[in-house]
Structure 1
Amino acid sequence: MSTDDERPEAPAVPRTRAEMRAAREAAAAAEAAAAEAASRSLSEDGGAGVPSRSLSEDGGAGVPSRSLSEDGGADRDETRQVPFEPGSRMPEADVPRDEARFVSPPARSTTGEERPARDATGEEPAAREATSEEPAAREATGEESAAREATSEEPAAREATEGTASALPKPPRDRRFLLAIGAVLGILVLVGAGLGVVSLTQGPRITEVQVDPAHAIESSGSRVILTANQSLAAIDESQVSVEPAVPFTLDAAGRGVGIRFTVPLDDDTEYTVKVADATGAGGGPSTTLETSFTTPQSSIFLLRRDADGDDKIFRTDLTGEKAVPVFSADKINDFRSTSTQLVVSVEEDDSSRLIVMKRDGTDQRDLPLPGDGYVGAIQVSERGGFVGYSYSDKELSDTEGRASVLVTQSLSGDDEPVVTEVGGKEANIFVWQFVPDSAAVLFIDFDGALSLVDRSTDAGVQSLGLATTIQGISRGTYTAIVERLDGSVVELNLADGSEQPLAASTPDYGSAMTITPYPGGTLRHVVARDATGLPQGQAIITVDDEGTATPLVEVGPADSILQACASPSGQYAAVVISPDMTNNPYDRMLLPLPENMETHLIDLRTGDEMVALTGFDASWCQTAPQF
């Protein structure tokens, strides 16, 4: 039989490395056993009769000589067993040449060079995966762990590989960094140039708007400031419009355009401000700068006295459904409010206390008084930050004590109370009012002299003639309505002292008991009398700037109107009515008033009554009602 007949047939499927190793070990064991048997035979015969042959001649101890090409290296599917030292590479000759290989793409090292990814066996990882057996088959043969150990990389081999990688030269990274920085700077330059071109072709644009809508409905002098993306050419007032219309002044410079509203704004209203034909200081196309904002809904403070309990100050919306008490005391005589604070006069131990607090009633503190005495007719200057009141000493006689002197002091309490003097003497004041939007005070003393003094300057007292009463002072116009000694009612310009008669209304409802100005008109309290002079009824009449009169509220002879005042913008009116005067007794406070009073809120734009609320002394009013 030939050697070809003796070779086993090729397996139907490729063997795993574990199977090939087992086959090699079996062949080696067989060769060792044959060599040992031949050695014993020689030792027994002493070498006689056995022809001497080299291993090359007999294939190794009596095994018929065959070349590797003939028997495929003892087995076509086996590789020769070669001792393997840790850290060494498997010889290339020991890799089966007929096994299928997959050569993976060269791996890139951290230094940027390409090198083949090999492990300690010298084989590509992908080649081992191509010849490996599925986990289920390895578990079936019981040799999965042996196969992993045979192909695992020794620590020494890994260290040698890492050492080689670290020794490779590094590429020049500084150049790439400089190129990247240059590219970024180039892009920024292009973007800036592009924005400049857009700015020149589109004209000015608004980049920021500053406005406080809540403050705008409380007091005059609020601002909306527009900031453009470039300096602007001169802006004229004719280029500015506000919708709905409201009087304003303009202050524009550089990139900013400031519009100051000379009167408070309506509540719950959207306002649109436009600056037409705005151009850049360097020329270019014109554009319209436009912005809009919405004011919040109004709220109001009311005082409610209680003969059987504590008096309370409430804050409520204009529906009366969200009334919240903010301060209470046994006897609250009067109060006034600013956009951030309340000033309250209370009676304690037969004298007065003056308390300043936040609008929610917190952070209460007392203001020092000129002495131990009584406070009345409280007013506040929002712009000047002052509180004013009439003061009388508790101990008062014909020769000692002060009576009805006008005192002003800072709401912060940082200064001492200042008693107003005329001609170097403390003046006894009959009636007085703060001039809106200023720190000036207009007053009439017991001699009938009408005077003006500004707390923000050292100009002293300015004499304005004689008068019997001050009806009111218009917001934003510095104009007062006063009644002269001869009974005439005039509009007095407080800036230059000029005056003109107050025009009669159409139709003419006669002389008014009180006149309260508001932006756009006046509220006039008139009384209808019979032929004998007895009152037959009362009414509040609105008179607009053109003189057109419209009845707003009318009551019969049984009721009495105690006060009428308008909201800061003239959008609403608050009319205080004392019903059924015959059965409505007065209390015993420093400011005595009927126990039962109602405040009727009316929309001046439509003339409709909105709600009637229990209480009086609405915070819209500059002064308390008079009995």
Structure 2
Amino acid sequence: MSTETRRPVATRFRRRFVAVVVVLVVVAAAAAVVGSQQGPRLKDVSYDATGIVSRPAQRVIITANQALQRVSARDVRVSPAAEHTVTSSGNTVAVEFAGPLDYDRDYTVTVADARAPGQAATADLRATIRTGSTDVLALVPAADGGQDRILRRSLDASGATTVYRGTGITGYVRLNRSLVVLSDTAVGDSRIDIVPLRNGVTDPDAPVEHLTLPSSRGSASALHASDDGASFGFRYADTSTGQSRDVGLYVVDLTGTHLPQPIAADGRPTTGAVPMTVTQWAYVPRTESALVRTGSDELFLVDMSGRVPAVRLGSATYLHGFVGTGTTAVVESGTGIQRLDLTDGRRTDITAPAGSTDAPYLGRIAQLTDETYLRTVGSVRSDGTIASRIVRVDGTRASRLPVSIPDDATLTAVCPSPNGQFVAVETRSSGASLVSVVDAASGALEASLAGEDVDWCGALPSGDEVG
């Protein structure tokens, strides 16, 4: 082919290429003009619907279609109102909430007057999120020698589902995808099983792991698990000699061998050690640490992973529980009830209005927020049982939470939901137990199921409680 023939082809190619480039430049310029006139637009929103109702410091990430000028907290509105902080970078805005949000609710997050760098036009970036719901587990003891059941009751649906069946169940804790079940054998010893779950119920195709306990015979109690599901612990007494020996705290590291290790006096898991004595204990929410009240009423913060030694935090005669953030515990001593800062050991007296203390019987405090808690109070009936009521304290004001408790019933537990929005109220009458889930502010009934040993109570310290 001649040079004259190839030249027009090359010329036509260059012309087409130039035309395409011109079109792209025009389109980009037009888009830039439109963007400068309209302002940024919402591109995406992401969040964890489950985490945002169960843990503090959860984020909603808002992504714009272009880079944004710096966004501050005063530029962001949340409706219904929720305390939050804001950080921004590039085209994303992160809204972090101080505490868990309410269950099963729509929230609108608005970034007001968002602006791209160098542009005059502003626009509101508005995202609506829907938070997740929750459920509650309860143990239903068997009647007439049958199998005990662990039931799950969802708050956004009717009816209850059987999660697990077994004999002699005395306790359980829920991990991420499994259930740790504590049971008594026919001869009075303890058994601990790790039961895999699928879709929230026992997985029939997965084997149950039977834990090897520290001795051939023994008794376990006060079972608790960390929030991240990496470990769980319990109090154990070796009874292989016919007497209780080495009674104390043990931990099971689920990322390791799954063999129970005693927590030594220095707060570290140590094979063969004499375990730290424990009267009450529980994991501090959202951590691998545990708050332990020993047999001599000493108080320790124990890192159950063993990375650091135990920290002594004075003494206490009773552990009530934790404030929702997890960095503060409510403890009782000879001088009264205080909030204990677990980061520095400082104590401040809890506000106790007259309406929360003017009764012969004063029960456990269930903390909802930094300034709000519930307390069981009551009088002693002629038969020795307690006629109870629930008092709600908001700052310096005490009022009765309008929850109906039958005259013949005994109030056995008051346990807040992970976000403090609801409370599981457990009562026992005529040999049967009932769990009522009520609104923590109004007392309105949300759900109920027959049973006891509510899983929400697993966040509260347990052991030989004397309150």
Q: Does the TM-score normalized on the shorter chain lie above 0.5?
A: yes
Task: State which of 164, 175, 189 in structure 2 corresponds to 1:327.
Answer: 164
1:16-58: CA deviation from partner (whole Å, max 9, x where unpaired)? xxxxxxxxxxxxxxxxxxxxxxxxxxxxxxxxxxxxxxxxxxx
Code of the residue aligned with 2:321 in structure 1: it is: G
Distance in 2, Cα, partners of 1:409 & 1:194:
63
How far residue 475 of structure 1 moved from its aligned partner, in angstroms, is 1.3
Code of the residue aligned with 1:225 in structure 2: it is: I
Task: Say if 2:289 and 2:301, in contact at 8 Å, map to a contact too.
Answer: yes
Q: What RMSD in Å do the two structures reach over aligned CA positions?
A: 3.2
Task: State which of 361, 371, 374 in structure 1 corresponds to 2:219.
Answer: 374
Distance in 2, Cα, partners of 1:320 & 1:207:
33
Residue in structure 1 matched with residue 349 of structure 2 by the alignment: 501
- Which protein, 1 or 2, shows the higher relative CO under an 8 Å CA cutoff with sep ≥ 6? 2
Distance in 2, Cα, partners of 1:184 & 1:365:
65
Residue in structure 2 matched with residue 361 of structure 1 by the alignment: 202
Residue in structure 2 matched with residue 32 of structure 1 by the alignment: none
Residue in structure 1 matched with residue 372 of structure 2 by the alignment: 521
Task: Say if 1:384 and 1:439, in contact at 8 Å, map to a contact too.
Answer: no
Residue in structure 2 matched with residue 459 of structure 1 by the alignment: 308
Distance in 2, Cα, partners of 1:319 & 1:234:
39
Q: 1:390 to 1:368 in 2, by over 3 A?
A: same
How far residue 355 of structure 1 moved from its aligned partner, in angstroms, is 0.9
How far residue 443 of structure 1 moved from its aligned partner, in angstroms, is 0.8
1:124-172: CA deviation from partner (whole Å, max 9, x where unpaired)? xxxxxxxxxxxxxxxxxxxxxxxxxxxxxxxxxxxxxxxxxxxxx9996
SS in 1 for 2:29: helix
1:346-379: CA deviation from partner (whole Å, max 9, x where unpaired)? 3346331231423322245427445233332222
SS in 2 for 1:213: coil
Task: Say if 1:391 and 1:406, in contact at 8 Å, map to a contact too.
Answer: yes
Q: 1:310 to 1:536 in 2, by over 3 A?
A: closer
Q: How does 1:207-286 map to 2 (within 5 A)?
A: 207-281=43-117, 284-286=120-122
Distance in 2, Cα, partners of 1:457 & 1:259:
34
How far residue 464 of structure 1 moved from its aligned partner, in angstroms, is 0.8
Task: Say if 2:366 and 2:415, in contact at 8 Å, map to a contact too.
Answer: yes
How far residue 483 of structure 1 moved from its aligned partner, in angstroms, is 0.4
SS in 2 for 1:335: strand
Greater strand fraction, Structure 1 or Structure 2 = 2
Task: State which of 333, 348, 351 in structure 1 corresponds to 2:190.
Answer: 351
Code of the residue aligned with 1:386 in structure 2: it is: S
1:303-347: CA deviation from partner (whole Å, max 9, x where unpaired)? 111032111112222377332212111222211224544332233
Residue in structure 2 matched with residue 390 of structure 1 by the alignment: 235
Distance in 2, Cα, partners of 1:605 & 1:322:
24
SS in 2 for 1:230: coil
Q: 1:316 to 1:612 in 2, by over 3 A?
A: closer
Distance in 2, Cα, partners of 1:454 & 1:281:
47
Distance in 1, Cα, partners of 2:17 & 2:239:
82
Q: 1:240 to 1:545 in 2, by over 3 A?
A: farther
Q: 1:265 to 1:339 in 2, by over 3 A?
A: farther
* 1:297 maps to 2:297: no
Distance in 2, Cα, partners of 1:199 & 1:230:
9
Q: 1:228 to 1:412 in 2, by over 3 A?
A: same
SS in 1 for 2:352: coil
Residue in structure 2 matched with residue 22 of structure 1 by the alignment: none
1:411-446: CA deviation from partner (whole Å, max 9, x where unpaired)? 455564443223476311110121112222111111
Greater helix fraction, Structure 1 or Structure 2 = 1
Task: State which of 308, 317, 321 in structure 2 corresponds to 1:472.
Answer: 321
Task: Say if 2:403 and 2:444, in contact at 8 Å, map to a contact too.
Answer: no
Q: How does 1:76-475 map to 2 (within 5 A)?
A: 176-281=12-117, 284-307=120-143, 308-318=145-155, 321-338=158-175, 340-348=177-185, 350-358=189-197, 359-362=200-203, 363=206, 365-366=208-209, 368-372=211-215, 373-383=218-228, 385-395=230-240, 401-403=245-247, 405-412=248-255, 416-423=259-266, 426-455=275-304, 458-475=307-324
Task: Say if 1:505 and 1:549, in contact at 8 Å, map to a contact too.
Answer: no
Task: Say if 1:598 and 1:615, in contact at 8 Å, map to a contact too.
Answer: yes
Distance in 1, Cα, partners of 2:44 & 2:275:
51
Distance in 2, Cα, partners of 1:319 & 1:278:
36
Distance in 1, Cα, partners of 2:210 & 2:122:
55
Q: 1:278 to 1:415 in 2, by over 3 A?
A: farther
Task: Give TM-score scaled by structure 1 length.
Answer: 0.63
Task: State which of 539, 553, 562 in structure 1 corresponds to 2:403.
Answer: 553
Distance in 2, Cα, partners of 1:232 & 1:490:
46
Gaps of 5+ in 2: 268-273
Task: State which of 503, 522, 541 in structure 1 corresponds to 2:391.
Answer: 541
Q: How does 1:594-613 map to 2 (within 5 A)?
A: 596-613=432-449
How far residue 498 of structure 1 moved from its aligned partner, in angstroms, is 1.2
Task: Say if 2:351 and 2:395, in contact at 8 Å, map to a contact too.
Answer: no
Q: 1:176 to 1:304 in 2, by over 3 A?
A: farther
Q: 1:191 to 1:380 in 2, by over 3 A?
A: farther
Bigger Cα Rg: 1
Task: Say if 1:506 and 1:549, in contact at 8 Å, map to a contact too.
Answer: no
Distance in 2, Cα, partners of 1:573 & 1:554:
13
How far residue 525 of structure 1 moved from its aligned partner, in angstroms, is 1.1
Residue in structure 2 matched with residue 116 of structure 1 by the alignment: none
How far residue 524 of structure 1 moved from its aligned partner, in angstroms, is 0.8
Task: Give TM-score scaled by structure 2 length.
Answer: 0.83
Task: Say if 2:252 and 2:259, in contact at 8 Å, map to a contact too.
Answer: yes
SS in 1 for 2:455: coil
Task: Say if 1:538 and 1:557, in contact at 8 Å, map to a contact too.
Answer: no
1:434-472: CA deviation from partner (whole Å, max 9, x where unpaired)? 111222211111111111123467332111111011101
